Structure 1
Amino acid sequence: MPQKIPTDIPGCYLRFAEKEDTALILDFIHGLAAYEKMADQVVATEELLRKNLFGKQSYAEVLLAYDRDEPVGFALFFHSFSTFRGQAGIYLEDLYVNPSARGRGIGTALLAFLAQLAVERDCARLEWSVLNWNKPAIDFYESLKARPLDDWTTYRLSGRALRNMAQHAASGQA
């Protein structure tokens, strides 16, 4: 049985996900995607998650939140690295709490544990992104004294653009 990590919320605890939790993780991903109006963009499968979260090379970790033994949320995160600081960081890719469990401090408990984990792992920072329209999340993060980084813009290569760039590199032109 995985170790339960206590929280300040009566009846709630956290724990690290295991391979057997793959279907639950995918359910949370679908819940998050529906909330973000991006359900049609989810291509993750249990097989892909099992391979990439619990396989030979683990690319991310997942923290699960429970309320009276009912799963109610998750945080998926991985390590980043700051060349200027010379230290690792934790990048929170996704944080999601079921609508019925919101407002009870579960999101705060997930973030607080990740902050504690970042300190324990000698990380320089904990970072994440939020959609510009997601006012409830922005208000929540700002209530925790998190600050937006207005001086940076995120860029992404994916799909055809990613494959084209890979072919460019493979041809020796990069």
Structure 2
Amino acid sequence: MIETKILNFEMRFAEPDDVPVVLQFIKELAEYEQLSHEVVATEAILRESLFGDRKGAEVILGYYQKQPVSFALFFHNFSTFLGRAGIYLEDLYVKPEMRGRGIGRVMLSYLAYLAQERNCGRLEWWVLDWNETAINFYQKLGAVPMNEWTVFRVTDRSLIDLAQEFAV
């Protein structure tokens, strides 16, 4: 367990037996973001993606009084300009009834610590533009929005079509 400054709150890296808890957090987060219809992850997919031969991400679970109350899923990216890896936080979720206790701040500060320990050049993430609560929270931590960048994504049929251009 990773000790924290919050009484009765501890963190640890997820293990294969934690996959059901991770999936439950993903579903809760999707519901909060009104994106439940986009969740296709299953326990089998997560087990392979998080703990298989080609591990794609890591998860930290937060426990308050021995009960899971939060999670952070992250992976390494790379900055060509810095010439170093970074940590990309895909998701951070704290159960609604546990918000306002400093849990999100502790988890983010641990990720910053981990980034420094791993010699990463930065810690970054996305936030939905309507989520003012999260935006205000992140800005109070010193995070800066990257408004000059636009995110692009290729998925579903467009991804298949683009890949087939190479295969032909």
TM superposition score category, shorter chain reference: over 0.9
> Which aligned pairs between 1:72-87 and structure 2 lie closer than 5 A?
72-87=69-84
| 1:66 corresponds to | 63
Structure 1: state its 5+ residue gaps.
none
Aligned partner of 2:35 among 34, 38, 44: 38
| Letter aligned with residue 163 of structure 1 | I
For 1:169, give the aligned amino acid: F
TM-score (norm 2): 0.99
CA distance in 1: counterparts of 2:167 and 2:84, whole angstroms: 31
TM-score computed with the length of structure 1 as normaliser: 0.96
Residue 57 of structure 1 corresponds to: 54
Residue number in structure 2 paired with 1:7: 4
Aligned-residue Cα RMSD (Å) equals 0.5
- The aligned counterpart of 2:109 is 112
Name which of 146, 158, 171 aligns with 2:155: 158
Where does structure 2 lack aligned partners over 5 or more consecutive residues?
A: none
1:170 CA drift (Å)? 1.3
Of residues 114, 123, 128 in structure 2, which corresponds to 1:126? 123
**Pairing partner for 1:17 from 14, 18, 28:** 14
Where 1:96 maps in the other structure, the secondary structure is strand
Q: Which amino acid aligns with 1:87?
A: R
Deviation at 1:40, TM superposition (A): 1.0
Question: Among the aligned pairs, what percent are the same residue?
Answer: 54
- Across the two proteins, how many residue pairs are aligned to each other? 168
Runs of 4+ in 1 over 3 A off after TM superposition: none
Q: Secondary structure at the match of 2:69?
A: strand
Letter in 1 for 2:15: E
Structure 1 CA distance, aligned partners of 2:66 and 2:40? 29
